[in-house]
Amino acid sequence: MEVAVTQSGDFASVDTRIVVIDDSGSATVHVATVDDGVNEADGSVTATVKPGGGYTVGGHRVGDYIVGDPSSATVGVADDDAATPANPDVTIAAGADVTEGTAASFTVTAAPAPEAALAVTVTVAQSGEYTAGAGSRTVTVPATGSVTFTVATTDDEVDEADGSVTATVAAGDGYTVGDASSATVAVADDDVPPPTPEVTISAGADVTEGAAASFTVTAAPVPEAALAVTVTVAQSGDYTAGAGSRTVTVPTTGSVTFTVATTDDDVDEADGSVTATVNTGDGYTVGDPGSATVAVADDDDPPVPVTVTLASAAASVSEDDGETTFTITLSRARGAGEQVTVPFTVAGGDPHTHWNIEFRSADNGAGVVRTAWGSNSAVRFSSGGRVATLTFIGRAEPATADRPITVAFGTGARAPSAVGVPGGIELGAGTFTIDVTNNDPTPANPEVTITAGAGVTEGTAASFTLTAAPKPSAPKSVTVAITQSGSYTTATGSRTVTVPTTGSVTFTVATTDDSTHEPDGSITATVDTGSGYSVGAAASATVEVADNDAVVPEITVTAGGDVTEGDRTSFTLTAAPAPNVPVTVSVTFTETGDFTYYDDSKSLTVRVSAATTVVRGDTIDDRIDEPHGTVTLTVDAGDGYTVGAAASAPVAVADNDDPPPEGTPVINVASAGDITEGRYAYFTITATPVPDYPLALNYVWSETGDMVGFEGSDPFKGPLFTKVGIGTINDDVDEADGTVTLTLKPGSGYIVGPSATATVAVADNDDADTVGVVLGVSAAAASIAENNGVTDVTLTLNRALEAGESVTVPLIVTGGEVDTHWNLEVPRQSGVTLTDPGAKIHLSKSETGFKYEVRLSSGATAGKLKLYARPNTDNEDRTITVAISMRRPWFQPYESGIDGGLTLGATSVEVDIINDDAPPPTPSVTITAGPGVTEGGAATFTLTAKPAPLQPMTVKVSVTQNGAYATSTGARTVTITSTGTATVTVATTDDITDEPDGSITATVVSLSDSDYEIGTPSAAVVAVADNDVADPTKPVTLAVSDAAAAEGDDLVFTVSLNRPSTETVTVYYVTADWTADTTDYTFTNDLIEIEPGQTQTTIRIPTRTDNKQEGTEKMVLELVHIEGAQPHNNSGTGHITDN
């Protein structure tokens, strides 16, 4: 039969073989296995009988089954070979660190030890330059498992940084690389570093421009090799093109000399210098001196200025076409490109009427032309021109007196000037007078008399009238002597009064309105003898002067009876003796406790016109339980009275409030820590116990120093156990350290605890200034008249500039137009020059100014400029601003040669040019409200201007609202025509949202160039009613309206619900300052209730009247806590208009 032999593993030869079974019924099959040397898994050999003829496999069939012996059998085969050992794990370790010249050692270890020698690849690398043995090498590990090899290092003489040698096991056959695959031996350098040369520099002798400046660079000790040194060359003046950085090589001799060429030009200039400075670099240090300077002297002569002189050939001419010539002479003729313009003025009569000046071509050569005529004439010299000859001609006139005519060089903007003339010009003899002699017969002298005007009170001018008979043919100068009885004028002495050809003139003598009580007096004017007139019989006249000064009373004060809070205090001022004219007395209210509308003190004035005057003050009837206090009135020193011994009197003020209920929060304050200026000063406010709702606390800020910039009160409401902060100012001013203090004040719903005050120290963080020169600008007068007014504008310095120092000051003049509204001139003065005068520059898209640049140099202590006003026909004042320019990086002040630099003081000054034209009346604009509207309707306001403007006038109106009804808010402009009125309409939205009633407020505000005043009332409020059906499923909401009132009337705020509530709505409210304070209205802190079924109530806040003229002021009504409704808006603005 056939038997198939198979196996698991690799132990036998498999095949199919024929097995013969003899009559014994069995046969044995032998399968040989292989005994190899390979370690492998155990296996098996299986023999399987295959089907064939004459036999069945595995048994006999019984029905559907075959029964009998199995058809295959398996024999297990066990492996008898030992396992093959694994590749060894190779690591490396470093020996001890070495010094250069000593070999670095490394040990290579194989684990387990190899059965035979193992070749391992190792890579050697280095840090630095210490070995020539870097690279790959083969190290043989013996059967012992480890071997040590070395890497030689070089012992050189080069100073270098320490380094290292690193050996790394590389991958290879027959081993694996272990974790410790790399090892490093540090190699220390043993060489001494060479000394570093120190480099210094010295200057050669000073030179004259054109000669080279020499410098010597020295290195010590001398370098071992050529040393490259970096040197920077700089200069003072403009003498070399060789400025900048250069490299100078110092040889091994230790020094080298280099030169810097200078330029021999033809320009006269200040002496300068060339400076060479050694810069830091590699391989050397910079010694002392590290810088050297060679002075460079200028060798050019300064240009000689051209001298301009003015002279006349004769001192007089006859008025009947008499002639003479006068000349304008230059010290040399003009060269090509040179031009000199010589303006001159002619004073003493009118051209063509009293004199004429002709420029005759026959008298003048090339290069001379006349460029202006009349009283302000001018002559221009160009190439070849040197002398201008003009002819002066007298003109016949009816006056009988000689007339002196003065010719002089122009001044200011009309001063002689030069273009392209080296050295410029200087003025020589520049004034002469020609008398135009009269040839008419002399009329008889008039007789002069004087009369007095009415008597006056001191401070009013006394008037007198001079009369000449017969009337003079020309204005007549008369000498008058002024005397007085008493001491009422400072204008005594002799004066000249000119009587015109009308025959009479009135003149005045000012009197002084002093504060000294004295007897009445008088002023007398007497006509003195003089030329061209005789003195008549009425030669003297007297005006009586009445004194208007009061007797100086002594003021004392007594107190009225004690009061209970809410009552008025009363004090009586007693004047002894009683004044004969009203006296304004300064007094101060102070208090202990918190019973008045001011913080601690308030000063005011009282008009005293009788022996006794009663002064009253309000006290606050609040709901705060507090200690009794006092209100004290003290008489302060002032003018027109003295203060007596009884200068102060107190009135006791009794508190009438019940103690706070148990559990009222006690409020304390503590500092949250000291700070440095610029940070917030924080204070922690705590309440014990914690209140159920936000409290409105009153507290006051104060400070020492100037760290916050203000002091005052600041009502606060909100959660307690919190911080309240105030910012401090991070300035650049060195100043003493300061403090910020918060002080709690009594209020409603709380008690001030023992820690009512806390202070935060504020440390200054600025260094003390080091100032070289301080530059500023000032004006001698704050205003000048439009009609040729003038004032000095001065560039101020804190000290005189020294040789080599200069300050260049760019100026911007804004406000009006040059020549139309003003002129700015720089008079001649030492050390002050004007560059680029009158150049116009563009400052911004909408602003144009005029640029001037003034240079202050050696000897200057200030720079004086003249600002002249120019007459014009408009009807407005004009502010002219002269400012030190800081508008462009390239157009700012700068200094040269000033140790300590330049700092700025005042950088601008304003001078008002006062209009002298009769101004039109300024309209006063007021606003009134139309009737209340329902949402969807338009709210209307009426603007009224009184008087009505002559031209349409643009007025700015600000629209605000309470609620959300207006379709637009914010600023808008409205035009009022010559009718004097205009209507402002604000549309409202008819929505479907149920909401509280609201309001719309319109307020008149100023424009930047307003041509109107804001009158009273300046604000108006239109109520807007909601028309939507309340949704009972939605919450009840509450809102407060704005309000407006004239001072003295009540502000009426409307508090409304969007729908009736089924429960009482309680509202706690408090007033707060905005632009108004509690001197303008009554501080109120209270609650209101809206009963079930109701939707509105009102809050009335009284306002206070005063005698101050002021604009509309604002305060705020805040709803600080609401029970029974949700807030829709919880603040309203109160507008208080001046009355």
Residues 6+ apart with CB under 8 A from 314: 324, 434
Of the candidates 1003, 1027, 1026, 1028, the residue with the CA atom closest to the CA atom of residue 1016: 1003
What pLDDT shows up at residue 843? 32
Q: Which CATH number fits domain 89-188: 3.60.15.10, 3.30.70.20, 2.70.98.40, 2.60.40.2030?
A: 2.60.40.2030
pLDDT, position 82 = 67
> Could you give the CA distance from residue 669 to residue 682 in angstroms, rounded to a whole number?
10
Q: Are 598 and 589 in contact (CB under 8 A)?
A: yes
Q: Are 777 and 863 in contact (CB under 8 A)?
A: no
SS3 891: strand
Q: Which amino acid is at 657?
A: D
User: What is the amino acid identity at position 191?
Assistant: D
Distance separating alpha carbons of residues 566 and 483, to the nearest angstrom: 62
Residues 6+ apart with CB under 8 A from 932: 1022, 1023, 1024, 1025
pLDDT at residue number 691 = 80
Q: Do 545 and 457 contact (CB within 8 A), yes or no?
A: yes
Region 226-250: mean pLDDT is 92
Q: Are 788 and 823 in contact (CB under 8 A)?
A: no
Q: What is the pLDDT of residues 14-71, one digit of tens each?
A: 777 777 777 787 888 888 888 887 778 888 988 888 887 777 776 555 455 444 567 7
pLDDT in tens, 814-825: 888 888 888 888
What whole-number percentage of the chain has pLDDT above 70?
93
CATH number of 666-763: 2.60.40.2030
**pLDDT number for residue 601:** 75
Please give the CATH number for the structural domain made up of 448-546: 2.60.40.2030
- The CATH number assigned to the domain with range 924-1137 reads 2.60.40.2030
Cα(904)–Cα(894) distance, rounded to whole angstroms? 10
582-619 pLDDT, tens digit per residue, is 888 999 989 888 777 665 678 888 888 889 999 888 88
Higher pLDDT, 183 or 715: 183
Q: Is 1045 exposed, middle or buried (0-12, 13-18, 19+ CB in 10 A)?
A: buried
Task: Return the ∠ at Cα 364 (arms to 362 and 369), rounded to 5°.
Answer: 120
> Can you give the pLDDT at residue 1010?
77
**Architecture in CATH for domain 554-654:** Sandwich (2.60)
Q: How is residue 241 annotated by DSSP? A: S
- Would you state the pLDDT for residue 540? 94
What's the confidence (pLDDT) of residue 455?
92
Q: What is the pLDDT of residues 380-392, one digit of tens each?
A: 998 888 999 999 9
Q: What is the pLDDT of residue 798?
A: 84
Cα(274)–Cα(238) distance, rounded to whole angstroms?
Answer: 10
Mean pLDDT score, 923-951: 90
The 10s digit of each residue's pLDDT in 726-760 is: 778 887 777 889 999 988 887 777 888 889 899 99
Give kind and range of the element (H or E) at residue 705.
none
Closest CA to 266 of 301, 238, 239: 301
CA atoms within 13 A on the CB side of 47: 15
Question: Can you tell me the mean pLDDT for 451-465?
Answer: 93
Q: Contact, 939 vs 986, CB < 8 A? A: yes
Q: Cα–Cα distance between 372 and 417 in angstroms, integer? A: 15
Residue 414, φ and ψ in degrees, nearest 5: -105, 20
In angstroms, the CA 561 to CA 171 distance is: 113
Q: How far apart are CA 59 and CA 72, in angstroms?
A: 12
Sign of the Cα pseudo-torsion (616, 621, 626, 628, in order)? positive
Q: Is the pLDDT of residue 549 over 70?
A: yes
What's residue 68's pLDDT? 53
Per-residue pLDDT tens digits for 388-411: 999 999 887 777 678 899 999 999
pTM: 0.28
pLDDT in tens, 1097-1120: 999 999 998 877 777 888 999 887
Which residues, at least 6 apart from 411, have a Cβ–Cβ distance to it below 8 Å?
none
| Closest C-alpha among 387, 370, 388, 367 to residue 378 | 370
- The rounded distance, in Å, linking the Cα atoms of 1056 and 716 is 25
pLDDT tens digits along 188-235: 998 887 788 999 999 999 999 999 999 999 999 999 889 999 999 999
List the one residue out of 206, 232, 203 whose CA is nearest residue 217. 203
SS3 363: helix
What pLDDT digit, counting tens, does each position of 1042-1055 carry? 888 888 889 999 99
> Is the model's pLDDT at 957 over the cut of 80?
yes
The reply to whether 773-914 shares the fold of 666-763 is yes
pLDDT score at 183: 95
CB atoms within 10 A of CB 882: 24
pLDDT band per the 50, 70, 90 thresholds, residue 769: low
Q: What's the pLDDT band for 566 if we cut at 50, 70, 90?
A: confident
CATH of domain 198-297: 2.60.40.2030
Which residues, 6+ apart, have CB-to-CB distance to 596 below 8 Å? 589, 602, 617, 618, 619, 620, 631
Angle 252-258-261 from CA coordinates, rounded to 5°: 170
Distance of CA 892 to the CA centre of its chain: 16
Domain residue extents for the chain: 2-77, 89-188, 198-297, 306-362+376-437, 448-546, 554-654, 666-763, 773-914, 924-1137
**Nearest 5°: phi and psi at 413?**
-65, -20
47-61, 421-435, 515-529: least confidently modelled range: 47-61
Backbone phi and psi for residue 326, each to the nearest 5 degrees, phi listed first = -135, 155
- What the block records as the tokens of 534 is 């005789």
- The pLDDT score that the predictor gives to residue 496 is 93
> Do residues 283 and 194 lie in contact, with contact meaning Cβ atoms separated by under 8 Å?
no
pLDDT band at 709 (very low <50, low <70, confident <90, very high): low
Q: State yes or no: cis peptide before 1017, omega within 30 of 0.
A: yes
- Whether the pLDDT of residue 717 is over 50: the answer is no
pLDDT in tens, 126-172: 998 888 889 999 999 999 999 999 999 998 888 888 999 999 999 99
DSSP reduced 3-state for 814: strand
Task: Report which of 33, 27, 31, 28 is spatially closest to residue 16, judged by C-alpha positions.
Answer: 31
Contact, 740 vs 703, CB < 8 A? yes
pLDDT digits (tens, 9 = 90+) for 326-377: 999 998 887 888 899 999 999 988 887 888 888 887 888 888 988 887 888 8
Q: Look up residue 833 and give its two tokens.
A: 């020059």
SS3 assignment for 160-213: CCCEEEEEEECCCCCCEECCCCEEEEEEECCCCCCCCCEEEEEECCCEECCCCE
CATH class, domain 773-914, is mainly beta
Rounded distance between C-alpha atoms, residue 262 and residue 87, angstroms: 83
Q: Is the pLDDT of residue 920 over 70?
A: no
- Reply yes or no on whether the pLDDT at 947 is more than 90: no
Q: Residues near 916 by Cβ (< 8 Å), separated by ≥ 6?
A: 785, 786, 787, 871
Hey, what CATH topology would domain 306-362+376-437 get? Immunoglobulin-like (2.60.40)
Instruction: Pick the more confident residue, 575 or 661.
Output: 575
Tell how far CA 495 is from the center of its chain: 55
pLDDT in tens, 875-909: 677 888 888 876 554 567 888 888 777 888 888 88
| Nearest alpha-carbon partner for 829 in 859, 802, 808, 800 | 859
| 3-class DSSP assignment, residue 329 | strand
User: Residues 435-462: what's their mean pLDDT?
Assistant: 87
Residue 962 has a CB neighbour count (10 Å cut-off) of 28
CA 39-44-47 angle, 5° bins: 150
In 3D, which of 1035, 1032, 1034, 1054 has the Cα closest to residue 1043? Answer: 1054
Average pLDDT taken over every residue of the chain: 85
Q: For residue 841, what pLDDT is reported?
A: 33
Least confident range of 706-715, 723-732, 785-794, 801-810: 706-715
